[in-house]
Amino acid sequence: MDVRKLFRSFRYAGKGFVQTVRAEQNFRFHLLSGAAVLFAGWLTGLSKAEWMIILLLIAGMLSLELVNTAVERVVDKASPEPHPLAGQAKDAAAAAVLVFATSSAVIGFMIFLPKWWNLFN
């Protein structure tokens, strides 16, 4: 096992993360939203299972945003001029993010709302 190669791959991943944070407003929004959910979870006192779900949802959302960014970059490089298929690929990647974000919000409400309801009643 080449340890230098392993560390290089982590460096590339970190570079991609930082580039995405700097360039993508939606990614920054999802980072901020994830931090807010973590804080709300800490205040709410989630169970271990609920924490695992929340962490998976946040990681999944950020991962999907990174993949969406990669798709956009590759499509823009491969098809600098507008093309219907290029647009469809970018739209489909964005739709995947929307589907995951929507389902994550629904799951989040299912976890948090009953706890908050009981807290205030």
Q: Which residues are annotated as a binding site?
A: 12, 24, 65, 72, 81-83, 90-91
Q: Which residues carry a binding-site annotation for ATP?
A: 12, 24, 72, 81-83, 90-91
For the question of residue 50 being annotated catalytic, the response is: no
Of the candidates 27, 34, 37, 65, the residue annotated as catalytic is: 65
Spatial contact of 78 and 86, defined as CB atoms under 8 Å apart: yes
CA distances from 21 to 17, 43, 107, 114 (A): 6, 27, 25, 33
Q: Which residues carry a binding-site annotation for substrate?
A: 65
Q: Which residues are catalytic?
A: 65
